[in-house]
């Protein structure tokens, strides 16, 4: 599920490091002497089949140049906040939930729901959840987030747009020499005319949670009103083994699930700049200011109109 990326400790470290820059895509030199920590928000509301519960994670930003000891990572998660979301009809107060609060016999089920990696369970992740599903979740609806913590008020607004489905999926031979073991995925999108649509996708294979590819967001504005084809790469975990011969390709015979989502402009801007920042490392790269829709803090409060497509990669 999508939360696997959102709450994976390695990912959160990268997110906190990048968000502490508070940047756009122009060159930016961060002040590494800043001592004040800001509140980093990461929260999502999903509408669609198999959608996740609505949740918010609150952490503290850290300086761009710093070292985090594993035993100190838990201290980055903020507890004791009041988190509310208004769905246009009512305001719902979220429940604070930490992994240490969950009985041991139930943790395996929670890990599965959240897509969390048990081998990282030494980190006591805390989040705020609409545990009873009180929010009305619907396409076209606006959701206003308010966070009160340590005398600060943090707000953000997102919308869940209408869902634009994949028109078709096609498994094809790999570029160049065809392979008996690998295939590529091509999808067709019929983009509605006159509407600014933005997309994001993640993939999951047998035994893995959902992972976002290195470039996960698609700007549908450039295809306005057109039917277009695009390859969807198999996502790989950052920092894992890199095989250029199989990168982005799917193993024939595998069961693959594509999580396809429509998102609004502010949500797209966040992932577009975040992915650009994460993929532009190196000695000659420049800093990238990551877009944020959070007032009074950093981060993202995003809406997803989402569906899942499950396929078995065919043999040749």
The pLDDT tens digits of the residues spanning 96-151 come to: 988 778 777 776 666 655 555 555 545 677 889 998 999 999 999 999 999 999 99
Query: H or E stretch including 159?
Result: strand 152-159
Look at strands 298-312 and 39-47 and give their pairing: parallel
Tens of pLDDT, residue by residue over 154-181, are 999 999 999 999 999 999 999 888 899 9
Cβ contacts of 215 within 8 Å, gap of 6 or more = 275, 279
Tens of pLDDT, residue by residue over 25-83, are 455 555 555 557 899 999 999 999 989 899 999 999 876 555 666 566 677 889 999 99
Angle at 217 between CA 184 and CA 233, to 5 degrees: 15
User: Is the model more confident about 25 or about 267?
Assistant: 267
Mean pLDDT value across the chain: 83
Query: What is the C-alpha to C-alpha distance for residues 198 and 266, in angstroms, rounded to an integer?
Result: 10
Query: Is the pTM above the cut of 0.85?
Result: no
Query: What is the C-alpha to C-alpha distance for residues 297 and 294, in angstroms, rounded to an integer?
Result: 6
Tens of pLDDT, residue by residue over 196-210, are 999 999 999 987 788
């Amino acid at each position: 599920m999508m939360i696997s990326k959102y709450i994976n400790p390695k990912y959160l470290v990268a997110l906190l490091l990048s968000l502490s820059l508070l940047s756009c895509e122009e060159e930016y030199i961060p002040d590494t002497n800043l001592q004040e920590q800001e509140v980093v928000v990461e929260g999502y509301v999903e509408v669609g089949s198999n959608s996740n519960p609505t949740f918010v994670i609150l952490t503290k930003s850290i300086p761009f140049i710093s070292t985090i000891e594993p035993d100190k990572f838990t201290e980055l998660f903020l507890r004791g906040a009041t988190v509310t979301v208004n769905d246009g009809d009512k305001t719902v107060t979220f429940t604070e939930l930490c992994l240490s609060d969950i009985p041991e016999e139930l943790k395996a089920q929670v890990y599965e729901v959240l897509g969390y990696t048990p081998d990282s369970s030494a980190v006591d992740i805390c989040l705020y959840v609409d545990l009873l599903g009180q929010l009305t979740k619907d396409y076209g609806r606006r959701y206003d987030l308010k966070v009160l913590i340590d005398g600060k008020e943090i707000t953000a607004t997102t919308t869940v747009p209408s869902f634009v489905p994949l028109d078709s999926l096609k498994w094809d031979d790999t570029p160049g020499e065809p392979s008996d073991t690998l295939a590529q995925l091509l999808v067709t999108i019929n983009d509605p005319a006159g509407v600014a649509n933005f997309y994001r996708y993640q993939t999951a294979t047998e035994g893995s949670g959902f992972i976002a590819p290195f470039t996960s967001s698609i700007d549908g504005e450039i295809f306005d009103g057109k039917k277009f084809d695009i390859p969807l790469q198999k996502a790989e975990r950052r920092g894992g083994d890199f095989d250029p011969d199989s990168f982005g390709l799917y193993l024939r015979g595998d069961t693959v699930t594509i999580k396809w989502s429509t998102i609004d402009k502010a949500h797209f801007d966040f992932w577009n700049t975040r992915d650009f920042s994460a993929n532009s490392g190196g000695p000659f790269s420049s800093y990238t200011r990551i877009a944020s829709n959070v007032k009074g803090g950093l981060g993202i409060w995003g809406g997803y109109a989402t569906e899942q497509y499950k396929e078995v990669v065919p043999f040749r």
